[in-house]
């Protein structure tokens, strides 16, 4: 019933020229003591969103250095996804929390999935809240249990977090992007197991590998973009927290002064996201048939290469989120050396130093003002983009994330 995900092969050696020899050597040393460690990653979906993006690279690299890492996806149905979507939103601060019936659905699916977990693992890593209650049913299935939080928990709905925390307390460790996300109920007195470790992107994946300007333009042209005119772009799931409508407002402001500007909103749909389509349709309606707003999703064949092309081609990349756990799209854009504007929330300021490696904004007007500045001053854009790329190289590429996980495994042996 738990579905195994196959992730293919990657080699750490291939990353040496991008991250430097010292980091690769440090990883090899750490890995020597961890040969054959059996690690299971358990998540709610293998498609769409940041978690799957990370695991498709991290797991092959864990295997490459000698850890025996697997990935399995829990079984869910619509009633479960409805409950967990509400939970996700509540944990990010939505005033609506789950009803008693929804919590019962949540519990029932966790219990059902727990029965399917095989035993004998050294470490089970549970990703995000959806499967968080599994551990309580089968603690004997792994020597060490880790809960990995991928969402912005800085201002959670109190009812939702109070209900979730008891599930988390018994984990041996919990891993967070930033300290502000750790609920006080977990950090008080029990901080031993709290590990701060932001995620990372894979610089060699089709989404992030170097693409020539000509190839990027070729791909964007096929989607109706005029590659000789300026392009603003946001790549994200269609989700209110990503604020695509705020991006449309910002684009409209820019267009008042620079009518030749175009906007691409690129967003795939996750299988566990029942609200996605509804919000996609509202965003389409908000665009109001403007031929210079290009709204694309995975049904238009927008895959990794296309995301790469849009991020590489854009004159300014935007991630105007109002909540953002980390925002892999931020590092993805910076890694391509593009000038970047992001919401001043969640994990975005970790990646962007305002005015140095991009801009942080808190409103569509501010976003429009910074975008115009970048579009009018290409040298400014180049400077921001170059600095952003180096920041990502040092902090947000997968080998650094692999090292942090190996340290955690070593500390819990
Ligand atoms: N993504 C994609 N296609 C899309 C939209 C998003 O491949 O149409 C990817 C995006 O490039 C990034 C991930 O999905 O790698 C989203 O991760 P992020 O942390 O930005 O946000 P999340 O979706 O996890 O909230």
Residue spans of the domains in the chain: they are 3-200+397-411, 213-395
Coil, helix or strand at residue 70: strand
Helices and strands counted in the chain (H then E) = 17, 13
Give the pLDDT of residue 276: 83
Q: Which residues line ligand 1 (CB under 6 A)?
A: 49-50, 53, 207, 235-237, 266-268, 298, 302, 307, 326-329, 332
Strands 359-361 and 293-296, by their bridges, are unpaired
For ligand 1, atom 23, the nearest C-alpha belongs to 49
Span from the CA of 223 to the centroid of ligand 1 (angstroms)? 19
* Ligand 1 nearest-atom number relative to CA 296: 8
- Give the DSSP letter of residue 2: P
Q: Which residues contact 74 (CB under 8 A, 6 or more apart)?
A: 2, 42, 43, 44, 109, 113, 130, 131, 134
Span from the CA of 49 to the centroid of ligand 1 (angstroms)? 4
Cα–Cα distance between 367 and 246 in angstroms, integer? Answer: 9
Structure tokens at 258: 């620079």
46-77: burial string, b at 16+ Cβ within 10 Å, e else: bebbbbbbbbbbbbbbbbbbebebbbbbbebe
Give the pLDDT of residue 314: 98
Give the pLDDT of residue 271: 58
Span from the CA of 412 to the centroid of ligand 1 (angstroms)? 31
Q: Do 3-200+397-411 and 213-395 have matching folds?
A: yes
Span from the CA of 140 to the centroid of ligand 1 (angstroms)? 34
Tell me if 15 sits within 8 A of 203, measured CB to CB: yes
Span from the CA of 50 to the centroid of ligand 1 (angstroms)? 5
* Ligand 1 nearest-atom number relative to CA 311: 11
**51, 53, 201, 208: residue to mutate for ligand 1 pocket, most atoms within 8 A of CB:** 53
Span from the CA of 25 to the centroid of ligand 1 (angstroms)? 30
* Ligand 1 nearest-atom number relative to CA 329: 20
Cα–Cα distance between 69 and 59 in angstroms, integer? Answer: 6
**46, 47, 49, 304: residue to mutate for ligand 1 pocket, most atoms within 8 A of CB:** 49
Span from the CA of 329 to the centroid of ligand 1 (angstroms)? 6
Cα–Cα distance between 372 and 237 in angstroms, integer? Answer: 25
- Residue whose entry in the numeric block shows the structure tokens 């050696």: 13
Tell me if 223 sits within 8 A of 254, measured CB to CB: no
User: Domain 213-395 falls in which CATH fold?
Assistant: Rossmann fold (3.40.50)
**152, 223, 328, 340: residue to mutate for ligand 1 pocket, most atoms within 8 A of CB:** 328
Span from the CA of 300 to the centroid of ligand 1 (angstroms)? 16
Tell me if 165 sits within 8 A of 188, measured CB to CB: no
Give the pLDDT of residue 272: 60
* Ligand 1 nearest-atom number relative to CA 151: 25
**CATH of the structural domain 3-200+397-411, one choice from 2.30.140.10, 3.40.50.300, 3.30.930.10, 3.40.50.2000:** 3.40.50.2000
Query: Where is 51: in which H helix or E strand?
Result: helix 50-64
For ligand 1, atom 3, the nearest C-alpha belongs to 268
Span from the CA of 191 to the centroid of ligand 1 (angstroms)? 30
- Successive 10-residue mean pLDDT values, the chain, 413 residues: 94 98 98 97 88 96 98 96 95 95 98 97 98 98 97 94 96 95 78 88 97 98 97 94 97 98 88 76 96 90 94 98 95 98 96 98 98 98 98 98 98 91
Tell me the chain's radius of gyration from C-alpha atoms: 21
- Residue 397, strand partner residues: 201
| Angle, vertex CA 133, rays to CA 129 and CA 136, nearest 5 | 150
* Ligand 1 nearest-atom number relative to CA 49: 23
Tell me if 361 sits within 8 A of 341, measured CB to CB: yes
Please state, in angstroms and as integers, the Cα–Cα distance from residue 274 to each residue in 20, 79, 212, 282, following that order: 42, 10, 36, 14
Give the pLDDT of residue 301: 84
Give the pLDDT of residue 298: 77
Strands 68-73 and 3-4, by their bridges, are antiparallel
Span from the CA of 139 to the centroid of ligand 1 (angstroms)? 32
Answer left, alpha or beta for residue 203, where phi above 0 means left and psi between -120 and 50 means alpha: alpha
Coil, helix or strand at residue 206: coil
Structure tokens at 153: 């928990």
């Amino acid at each position: 019933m738990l579905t195994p995900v196959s992730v293919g092969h990657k080699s750490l050696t291939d990353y040496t020229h991008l991250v430097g020899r010292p980091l690769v050597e440090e990883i090899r040393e750490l890995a020597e003591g961890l040969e054959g460690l059996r690690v299971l990653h358990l998540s709610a979906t293998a498609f769409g969103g940041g978690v799957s993006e990370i695991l498709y690279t991290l797991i092959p690299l864990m295997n490459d250095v000698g850890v025996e890492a697997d990935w399995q996806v829990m079984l869910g149905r619509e009633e479960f996804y409805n409950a967990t979507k509400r939970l996700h939103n509540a944990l990010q601060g939505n005033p609506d929390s789950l009803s008693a019936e929804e919590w019962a659905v949540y519990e029932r699916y966790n219990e059902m999935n727990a029965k399917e977990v095989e035993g004998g693992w050294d470490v089970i890593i549970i990703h995000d809240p959806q499967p968080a209650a599994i551990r309580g049913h089968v603690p004997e299935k792994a020597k060490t249990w880790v809960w990995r939080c991928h969402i912005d928990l800085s201002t959670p709905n109190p009812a939702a977090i109070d209900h979730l925390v008891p599930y988390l307390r018994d984990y041996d460790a919990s891993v967070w992007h930033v300290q502000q996300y750790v609920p006080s109920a977990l950090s008080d007195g029990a901080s031993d197991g709290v590990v701060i470790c932001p995620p990372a992107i894979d610089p060699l994946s089709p989404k992030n590998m170097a693409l020539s300007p000509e190839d990027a333009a070729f791909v964007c042209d096929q989607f109706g973009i005029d590659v000789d005119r300026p392009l603003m772009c946001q790549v994200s799931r269609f989700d209110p927290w990503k604020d695509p409508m705020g991006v449309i407002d910002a684009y409209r402001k820019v267009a008042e002064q620079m009518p030749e500007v175009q906007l691409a909103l690129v967003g795939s749909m996750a299988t566990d996201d029942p609200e996605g389509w509804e919000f996609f349709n509202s965003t389409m309606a908000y665009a109001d048939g403007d031929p210079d707003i290009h709204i694309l999703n995975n049904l238009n064949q927008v895959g990794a290469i296309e995301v790469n092309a849009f991020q590489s081609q854009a004159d300014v990349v935007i991630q105007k989120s109002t909540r953002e756990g980390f925002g892999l799209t931020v590092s993805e854009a910076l890694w391509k050396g593009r000038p970047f504007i992001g919401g001043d929330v969640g994990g975005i300021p970790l990646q962007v130093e305002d005015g140095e490696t991009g801009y942080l904004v808190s409103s569509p007007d501010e976003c429009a003002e910074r975008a115009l500045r970048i579009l009018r001053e290409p040298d400014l854009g180049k400077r921001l983009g170059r600095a952003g790329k180096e920041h990502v190289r040092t902090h947000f590429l997968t080998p650094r994330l692999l090292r942090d996980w190996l340290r955690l495994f070593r500390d819990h042996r």
